Amino acid sequence: MSLVRPVSERLKGAFVACHSEGHQWRHEGRVVGGSEEGVRPPYGMTDAVARYSTCTSCTSERFRWYTRSGEAINQYRYAEGYLHKKVRPDDEAAPTRQWWRQQLVVTLFEDMRPTVRTRKGRRAS
């Protein structure tokens, strides 16, 4: 069972890096709510303007909405496959940040191999 939907190898590497070290945000411009289909400030935030950024690594998007008083709330649109999807009740929980770091670490140390994820309370098969 794979953790994420099939994506390009480059994107898989980017997902590991972003989960481990955070996104690489590049500011793209100013966005006003309603200027584009589905682009609106979080519920309860009125008269807000967003700074729109994209991750140069994994292509995720961030809208950082600001009110005139300086309150700020982030909204994210993650790249397909970035977030772990728990579809059925017995699907595995999302990997921890530590697990993602381990995936990064094995690319740094040449003599290491990826660790196998085992389900809680079940034997690895």
The pattern of x and - marking residues 14 through 33 that bind Zn ion according to CB under 5 A reads: ----x----x----------
Stretch binding Zn ion (CB under 5 A), from 12-20, 29-37, 42-50, 100-108: 12-20
Nearer to Zn ion, 59 or 102 (CB): 59
Q: How far apart are CA 69 and CA 72, in angstroms?
A: 9
The CA distance from 3 to 86, in Å, is 10
- Please report, in angstroms and rounded to a whole number, the separation of the first and last CA atoms in the chain: 12
Q: Could you give the C-alpha distances from 114 to 84, 92, 103, 108, in angstroms and in order?
A: 18, 18, 6, 11
CA distances from 59 to 9, 12, 73, 102, 118 (A): 14, 12, 20, 22, 29
Q: Minimum CB separation from Zn ion for residue 23, in Å?
A: 4
Q: Which is nearer to Zn ion, 21 or 47 (CB)?
A: 21
Mask of contacts with Zn ion, 51-90, x by CB under 5 A? ----x-xx-x------------------------------
Shorter beta-carbon distance to Zn ion: residue 60 or 103:
60
Which positions lie near Zn ion, rule CB under 5 A?
Answer: 18, 23, 55, 57-58, 60
